[in-house]
Structure 1
């Protein structure tokens, strides 16, 4: 009977996205970060796909059994091993591990691929893809890990965005698509996202335009707007607005801080603009939201 990967890993994760209140992202994936001394995991059949990202800069020996066949190899930094749901898999590693393990619910990923990317995933998805090198996909995984670890990267907006970046990259580059599917751009990388995010963070209290974000990413405005929406599922300005509102909600934890001050700090023209935008996104005014929060 298939089990969950987390049930048998020989150490507790240093970081675990399941512990965070992020239902949309957690509904598609779980992110766990492990460092474990040399050990082994018995052969088991898992009910999830799991994607293992190697962060260890030291090349080291790893043995991986896949449906009874042994792979004995040297594991290099930025290499990824994907084990599909339903495959009997076991592991033994001979050096301390430094890995991110991302587990994916097959049914939900299939639905995401169809509704968001127009892709029909093959039932044998990932079975013929035991190992590959992808520094950019690993970089996206590191951003997800860091979102769990540090306060300034704990934003639900950022985690949701990077979850989408990771999934879109994985499925576009390695998923099997229908012959009639149109190839979506995969040129919006995790590094592009980092530059855009850093720009938004630095200029949160200022006007931000699509042209500015496109320039930061090194793209034309029209191309940037297209690949941003294809990858993250929202327009650049929708993302910026969601980020402004999220930061405002965090600032509202200080009950003594005036709403007008929060409005200006988050880049709204005035408190009236803040109130309109907040109500449109959250469903109630900032004053009502603050009053309803438990003290």
Structure 2
């Protein structure tokens, strides 16, 4: 069975395959496409596909979805869901700009049940083929930006935003609106962006959870619950993971002493960095440096 990406009218300008951590790739894959007016053949796919329109100007699109033919105006912030197992075809009448999120059904089911305690059925994905959701679009756009930047911390940013995107998607399609999902809705991509910007600028300082929560505009206890539920890590775990990522990059320069890297990355001393580094990387800083310097 061919993949959706195999029949798109043009090659993706940007794609996550091969450029993100395996733990992020297990959540979803992302491609960004731009294409001139064209058609796509009718195919059945084994993955779910989420199309997010980034084009500001409304434009005409035709979509064949099972036995249904839809001829409509595609507007910015509109999202189209094509579940696995449904024959789908497209005709774009104007230049398109789309993010395509691909989800493995088994992986999505595991995430939904294990992480959120929810059930997401195939039929639920079928029932709402198209909707407007600026929040979900914002999460997808930030995923795209994290992939495009390839900057310091972008790997952590992509994985965390992938989780945020999935939480937002399940909010829309979950079997019922639980207290937990309603709670998670309060943590938006904008909150996460403020947190990431703050951490990326201050990770070498002695910052507290209260400092990070204040930057997000939330109380420390409320922020911690929201962050853990939506991102998967506690704020402290996220900060430590970010510091380890930066330390690994600095250690690639053999001229930098380990104690210098430890202080630059906000660890209290070299042994502290070694303990945390091994916890998150499975090896000591010196072992990592020997392999990568």
The TM-score with structure 2 as length reference comes to 0.95
Alignment partner, residue 95 of structure 2: 96
Report whether the alignment pairs 1:233 with 2:232: yes
Contact 1:49/1:83 (<8 A) preserved: yes
Superposition deviation, residue 162 in structure 1: 0.7
TM-superposed CA distance for 1:202, in Å, is 1.0
Given the alignment of the two structures, is residue 10 of structure 1 paired with residue 5 of structure 2, yes or no?
Answer: no
2:152–2:246 CA contact under 8 A, matched in 1: no
SS at match of 1:208: coil
The CA deviation at 1:21 is 4.5
Determine whether 1:139 maps to 2:141.
no
Q: What do the CA deviations read for 1:112-159 (whole angstroms, capped 9, x no partner)? A: 111000012223131011111111111111111122211326632211
Residue of structure 1 equivalent to 2:289: 290
- Does structure 2 conserve the Cα–Cα contact (< 8 Å) formed by 1:146 and 1:153? no
Q: Deviations over 1:8-66 (max 9, x none)?
A: 11111011111215211111211000011111111111111100000000111111111
Residue 221 of structure 2 corresponds to 222
Structure 1 portions without partners, runs of 5+: none
Q: Contact conserved, 1:126 with 1:175, CA < 8 A, in 2?
A: no
Matches within 5 A, 1:158-169: 158-169=157-168
RMSD between aligned residues: 1.6
Cross-structure match for 1:45: 44
Q: Distance in 1 between matches of 2:234 and 2:153?
A: 21
Shift of 1:246: 0.6
The structure with the greater share of residues assigned to helix is: 2
Aligned to 1:273: 272
- Tell whether 2:274 aligns with 1:261: no
CA contact (8 A) 2:153 2:242 kept: no
Which residue of structure 2 lines up, in the alignment, with residue 204 of structure 1? Answer: 203
> What CA distance in whole angstroms lies between the structure 1 residues aligned with 2:150 and 2:85?
37
Structure 1 counterpart SS, 2:193: helix
How far residue 287 of structure 1 moved from its aligned partner, in angstroms, is: 1.3
Residues 55 and 100 in structure 1, CA contact (< 8 A), matched pair in contact too: yes
Gap regions ≥5 residues in structure 2: none
Q: Could you list the runs of 4 or more consecutive aligned residues of structure 1 that deviate by over 6 angstroms after TM superposition? A: none
